[in-house]
């Protein structure tokens, strides 16, 4: 039986803003991706083409080996069906690892059905990842982009959120069975993944699922992905379906607000007169958001301190700003400085006008 790579079509809502530019899989990350197996893979091929790669399909093991032997430039990635018409994907991966030329070539093995021994077998032949159908075409493109940033012979990869957003990386990592850790280089945060689950995360002093959600919202800059055993006890467990169904929609709302809403670096304070007028129309819980705007905190700092979900807090702050309850702190500071420069109020200073003359009392002339 031949295993086919059936790519699940990506839902429209998960397409990143900016399309291809959001992932920036072109340029240095471009190149050939070899797809080994009998079945046609239109969705995977289209996804790779859209991201700047050149997908090349071959039927089986012999053709794949012949193509690799005759090509001067190796492909960026090889995607191999677990079952091939003239062998199996595990054997082909083992042959690649035994060849000096292709020993460090990234290899993804894909099986129609998950088998318990497949994970150990894939690890034994040195596969970079083991996936089970249906495989999301976007995940293949993301893994191809990630593997392009390998550090020499180490199983460590460098990437940047500007080219490979963290949420896309996590979605792809959870489609496989590898373990490892992602560490931000320009921020304080990391998360650990193990056999298709996120099991731990830290971000700015927080730990657990809240830290993971905030890391996906605010984590930015360069990061490293290190594959290897992660044996320490986790603090939570999150699989790919939960990520896609429960977490990603909130992240998309958050990103939409960040694009067209309040700048995260803005410092806001409360107009209490306006708050008093609008208070009857506001939800009771809005006090949890209002009290954090003291003129010193930025919007980003407020979102990190508020216990509400980030998208909900961001929407509340945006609404309060539109109502005039929140105002830029710099405007209040400028008014205060203008008031101070004017000096104390001049309530008792004499005027420059002459004092009116006193009129004689009636009959004063007669009395004299």
**C-alpha to C-alpha distance for 4 and 131, rounded to whole angstroms:** 12
- Is residue 142 located within the same domain as residue 160? no
Query: In the chain, pLDDT over 70 holds for what percent of residues?
Result: 82
- Is residue 3 located within the same domain as residue 59? yes
At 311-358, the pLDDT tens digits run 999 999 999 999 999 999 888 777 767 766 766 666 555 555 555 555
Helix extents (H) in the chain: 20-23, 42-50, 61-70, 89-98, 116-124, 137-147, 166-173, 209-218, 240-242, 248-260, 272-278, 287-290, 299-305, 310-323, 329-341, 364-367
Note the pLDDT of residue 151. Answer: 80
Query: In the chain, pLDDT over 90 holds for what percent of residues?
Result: 51
Note the pLDDT of residue 104. Answer: 87
Identify the band that residue 154 occupies on the pLDDT scale cut at 50, 70 and 90: confident
| 182 within some domain | yes
Average pLDDT for 125-136: 88
Note the pLDDT of residue 7. Answer: 35
**C-alpha to C-alpha distance for 177 and 230, rounded to whole angstroms:** 12
Note the pLDDT of residue 348. Answer: 55
Last residue of a domain, one of 213, 233, 260: 260
DSSP letter for each residue of 25-87: -SGGG-EEEEEESSS--HHHHHHHHHTTEEEEEESSHHHHHHHHHH-SSPPSEEEEESEETTE
Note the pLDDT of residue 193. Answer: 96
Residue 218 has pLDDT above 70, yes or no: yes
- Is residue 142 located within the same domain as residue 4? yes
Q: Between the CA atoms of 292, 298, 300 and 303, what dihedral angle is there, to the nearest 10 degrees?
A: 10
- Is residue 217 located within the same domain as residue 333? no
- Is residue 272 located within the same domain as residue 241? no
Residue 2 has pLDDT above 70, yes or no: no
| 89 within some domain | yes
| 347 within some domain | no
Which of residues 5 and 40 earns the better pLDDT score?
A: 40
User: Any idea what DSSP says for residue 165?
Assistant: -
| 157 within some domain | yes
Note the pLDDT of residue 346. Answer: 61
- Is residue 3 located within the same domain as residue 144? yes
Element (H, E) at 198: strand 197-203
β-partners of residue 159 are 223
What range does the domain containing 320 cover? Answer: 262-340
β-partners of residue 269 are 327
Q: In degrees rounded to 5, what are phi and psi of residue 208?
A: 115, -160
- Is residue 235 located within the same domain as residue 103? no
186, 265 in Cβ contact below 8 A?
Answer: no
Which of residues 300 and 188 earns the better pLDDT score?
A: 300
CATH code for position 32: 3.40.50.2300
β-partners of residue 110 are 81, 131
Residue 90 has pLDDT above 80, yes or no: yes
- Is residue 106 located within the same domain as residue 209? no
Which of residues 82 and 43 earns the better pLDDT score?
A: 82
**C-alpha to C-alpha distance for 118 and 315, rounded to whole angstroms:** 46
* Mean pLDDT taken over the chain: 83
Least confident of 43-47, 133-137, 288-292, 330-334: 330-334
**C-alpha to C-alpha distance for 109 and 94, rounded to whole angstroms:** 11
| 175 within some domain | yes
Least confident of 84-88, 126-130, 351-355: 351-355
How many structural domains is the chain composed of? 3
User: Any idea what DSSP says for residue 1?
Assistant: -
Highest mean pLDDT pick, 47-61, 184-198, 347-361: 184-198
- Is residue 177 located within the same domain as residue 103? no
Last residue of a domain, one of 212, 233, 260: 260
- Is residue 239 located within the same domain as residue 317? no
| 201 within some domain | yes
| 363 within some domain | no
**C-alpha to C-alpha distance for 79 and 36, rounded to whole angstroms:** 6
Average pLDDT for 70-96: 90
Last residue of a domain, one of 260, 277, 303: 260
CA distances from 248 to 124, 129, 214, 215, 356 (A): 34, 23, 12, 13, 79
- Is residue 158 located within the same domain as residue 247? yes
Instruction: Give the SS3 label for residue 16.
Output: coil
| 142 within some domain | yes
Least confident of 31-45, 111-125, 320-334: 31-45
Identify the band that residue 149 occupies on the pLDDT scale cut at 50, 70 and 90: confident
Residue 194 has pLDDT above 70, yes or no: yes
- Is residue 190 located within the same domain as residue 232? yes
Q: In degrees rounded to 5, what are phi and psi of residue 334?
A: -65, -40
At 221-231, the pLDDT tens digits run 999 999 988 88
Note the pLDDT of residue 20. Answer: 34
Which of residues 331 and 21 earns the better pLDDT score?
A: 331
């Amino acid at each position: 039986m031949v295993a086919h790579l059936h790519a699940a079509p990506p839902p429209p809502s998960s397409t990143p803003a900016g399309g291809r530019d959001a992932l920036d899989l072109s340029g240095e990350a471009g190149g050939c991706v070899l797809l080994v197996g009998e079945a046609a893979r239109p969705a995977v091929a289209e996804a790779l083409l859209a991201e700047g790669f050149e997908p090349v399909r071959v039927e089986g093991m012999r053709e794949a080996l012949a193509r690799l032997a005759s090509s001067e430039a190796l492909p960026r990635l090889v995607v191999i069906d677990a079952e091939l018409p003239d062998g199996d994907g595990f054997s082909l991966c083992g042959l690649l690892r035994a060849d000096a030329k292709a020993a460090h070539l990234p290899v993804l093995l894909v099986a129609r059905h998950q088998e318990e021994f497949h994970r150990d077998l894939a690890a034994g032949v040195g596969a970079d990842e083991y996936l089970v159908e249906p495989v999301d075409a976007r995940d293949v493109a993301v893994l191809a982009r990630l593997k392009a940033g390998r550090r020499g012979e180490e199983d460590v990869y460098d990437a940047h959120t500007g080219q490979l957003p963290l949420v896309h990386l996590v979605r792809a990592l959870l489609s496989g069975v590898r373990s490892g850790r992602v560490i931000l280089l320009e921020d304080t945060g990391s998360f650990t993944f193990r056999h298709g689950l996120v099991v731990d995360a830290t971000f700015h002093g927080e730990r657990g699922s809240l830290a993971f959600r905030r890391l996906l919202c605010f984590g930015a800059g360069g990061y490293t992905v290190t594959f290897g055993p992660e044996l320490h006890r986790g603090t939570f467990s999150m699989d790919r379906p939960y990520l896609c169904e429960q977490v990603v929609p909130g992240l998309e709302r958050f990103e939409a607000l960040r694009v067209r809403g309040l700048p995260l670096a803005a410092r806001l304070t409360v107009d209490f007169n306006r708050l008093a007028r609008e208070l009857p129309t506001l939800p009771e819980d809005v006090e949890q958001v209002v009290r954090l705007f003291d003129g010193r905190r930025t919007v980003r700092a407020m979102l990190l301190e508020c216990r509400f979900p980030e998208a909900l807090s961001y929407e509340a702050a945006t609404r309060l700003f539109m109502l005039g309850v929140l105002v830029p702190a710099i405007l209040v500071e400028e008014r205060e400085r203008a008031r101070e420069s004017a000096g104390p109020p001049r309530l008792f200073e004499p005027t420059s006008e002459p004092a009116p003359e006193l009129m004689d009392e009636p009959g004063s002339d007669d009395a004299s």
